[in-house]
Amino acid sequence: MAEQIQAFTIEQFYKHLLQGKLMGAKCRKCGKVHLPPRPLCDSCFSKDFEWIELSPKGKLLTYTVIHVAPSQFQGMAPYAVGIVQLENGVKIPGMIRASPEHIKIGMPLTMDFGTCAATQQWPQWPRYFFKPA
Amino acid sequence: MKGKPLVSIVSAGLSKFGKLEGLYAREIFAEAAKEAFDRCPNLNPKKDIQALFIGHMGESYEHQGHTGATMAEWAGLLHVPATRTEAACASSGAALRAAIYAVLSGLADVVMVGGVEKMTHRSTAEVTEYLAMASDYPFEQWHGITFPGLYALMATAHMHKYGTTEKQLAAVAVKNHYHGSLNPKAHMQKEITPENALSSRVIAWPLKLYDCSLITDGASCLILTKPELAKKYTDTPVHIIGSGQASDTIGLYERESFTSLAAARLAAKKAYEMADVKPENIDVAEVHDCFTIAEIIAYEDLGFCKPGGGGQLAEKGETKLGGRIPVNTSGGLKAKGHPVGATGTGQAYEIFLQLTRQADKRQVKNAEIGLTHNVGGSGATATVHIYRRG
Ligand SMILES: [Zn+2]
């Protein structure tokens, strides 16, 4: 079966996650790595990209513990979320599965896709999360 | 253009801010419009007002879109060209920019600009969800990051980088509640102690209930005209002498810094340059304190102190009435309240009162130059305006 060209979209990013892969889009013209991928390079306006697999490891830049949550997350509260800088330099936010007293800025974390569960409604995306490396 | 009036404010109106039960947004806006009309007897609204710009964030609250025409009709301005602007919590800051474009272009001599939001009839969970729409959906909302959560991410980063303390955050809340106690239109008119603030329940650590602005109903408006027409309408106009607006990434995570808002710094730079004034020339300011950390970051982004100095500025009382540079004399979003769409022009209303010496118990003596700083979402939009007493 001929491999289809996968659009450089947010939806495709999440489809890759379902396969346990953290994929970014590298601009073939200027070399910028986009996470999330985007159809137009915001640096050089090129539309020529290639998928590259990124290391799921990174360090925590900042975090918070959410106590008042939107309805669909209320069952999980309180939960920690943070912004992680991956080894290649790009930043991505997500939940951190660790008890709050063990969370420190600068700590090494790794992304896990273990228990991705798609929801019934739009969008049909899984969720990733971070855990201590 | 340096230092010259761009447009002049000849009147302003503000509804009561608070829990306005049983009222629709359009009815609240009519209250603000009525005050602006009454304040300016020389204005014939139906004949003189040639356009309306209205800031409004969410259709979700009242299941009602098409806000421009609705507000024009209910303010008695049927048939004027009416346009709604949406830039989250900076919706009416952006409306003010649009109104300035309209007057400066020569397309309209007199315009009304305002904002409105009706929020308190919804549950906290619903409002939390609607406000989060101002942030990135696929990477922030999707992973359970709330709006207070985004500012908490900034607070944690600020505390880590500069040693800012929870006590300093509380100082902002205490100050703004004190100012709110002097404002009869504020949602909360009672003072609080640092202990009240520090012991309130956690919303998104390190931000507690008293670090967060209020869910409020309210409306605000201004009447703008060309500077050369201002004296036709009032002896005491307030001139807008600087206007800046900038945008940034919708996701907080994509930004270079989590301790400063680039959009606010860029908007401030533009406004200061246009107005030909420096931060030390500002006599009174209304800044976007959606959370206490946001006010501390605003001090730094606006040049009221060095980066990292915001916490100390608040703690030393320099931004309190009587201090070196009083900030949020209205009570701010924290105590006056934050009906999101109404906030930007609501800030301008307070500066209008201050510069025309109508701020009563919270009057800043001899205030000549004022500033407003209005931020949308976690900083993807910012507007800064500078005002001079006419
Ligand atoms: Zn490129």
**Quick one: pLDDT at residue A126?**
85
B177 catalytically annotated: no
Measured distance between the N- and C-terminal CA atoms of chain B, rounded to whole angstroms: 16
Between vectors from CA B254 to CA B249 and to CA B259, what angle results, nearest 5°? Answer: 90
In angstroms, the CA A112 to CA A108 distance is 13
Say how many Å lie between the CA of residue A48 and the centre of ligand 1: 8
In angstroms, the CA A25 to CA A31 distance is 10
Say how many Å lie between the CA of residue B138 and the centre of ligand 1: 22
For residue B95, give the nearest of B213, B245, B233, B227 by alpha carbon: B245
Are A68 and B129 an interchain contact pair (Cβ–Cβ within 8 Å)? no
String of b and e for B311-331 (b: at least 16 CB within 10 Å)?
A: bbbbbeebbbbeeebbbbbbb
Q: Which of A13, A43, A83, A96 to mutate to test the interface with B (most CBs of B within 10 A)?
A: A83
Cβ of residue B247 closer than 8 Å to a chain A Cβ? no
Name the percent of chain A lying above pLDDT 70.
Answer: 90
- B179, B187, B239, B338: the catalytic one is B338
The residue assigned the tokens 């010496």 is B357
pLDDT band at A2 (very low <50, low <70, confident <90, very high): very low
- B89, B212, B221, B305: the catalytic one is B89
Sequence-ordered alpha helix ranges (H) in B39-106: 45-48, 67-74, 91-105
Burial level of A2, CB count in 10 A (0-12/13-18/19+)? exposed
pLDDT band at A116 (very low <50, low <70, confident <90, very high): low
What is the ipTM metric for this complex?
Answer: 0.95
Q: What is the pLDDT of residues B257-299, one digit of tens each?
A: 999 999 999 999 999 999 999 999 999 999 999 999 999 999 9
Cβ of residue A83 closer than 8 Å to a chain B Cβ? yes
CA dihedral (A39, A43, A46, A48) positive or negative: negative
DSSP B315: H
String of b and e for B47-74 (b: at least 16 CB within 10 Å)?
A: ebbbbbbbbbbbebbbeeeebbbbbbeb
pLDDT score of A33 more than 90: yes
In this structure, the strands spanning B238-247 and A108-112 are: unpaired
In angstroms, the CA B283 to CA B59 distance is 37
In angstroms, the CA B5 to CA B11 distance is 16
**Quick one: pLDDT at residue A125?**
83
pTM of the predicted model over 0.80:
yes
In angstroms, the CA B291 to CA B274 distance is 29
pLDDT mean across residues, chain A: 91
Q: H/E element holding B354?
A: helix B343-355
Q: Where are the beta strands (DSSP E) in A20-113?
A: 23-27, 33-34, 49-53, 57-66, 79-86, 91-96, 108-112
Q: H/E element holding B203?
A: strand B202-205
B89 catalytically annotated: yes
Cβ of residue A24 closer than 8 Å to a chain B Cβ? no
| Low-confidence stretches of chain B (pLDDT beneath 50) | none
Closest residue in chain A to residue B208, using alpha carbons only: A67
Distance from CA of A67 to the nearest CA of B (A): 5
In angstroms, the CA A38 to CA B251 distance is 14
Say how many Å lie between the CA of residue A41 and the centre of ligand 1: 5
Residue type present at position A111: M
Q: Which of B205, B209, B250 to mutate to test the interface with A (most CBs of A within 10 A)?
A: B205
In angstroms, the CA B329 to CA B319 distance is 9
Are A79 and B144 an interchain contact pair (Cβ–Cβ within 8 Å)? yes
Residues 87-126 of A with CB under 8 A from B: 91-95, 100, 105, 123, 125
Say how many Å lie between the CA of residue A25 and the centre of ligand 1: 10
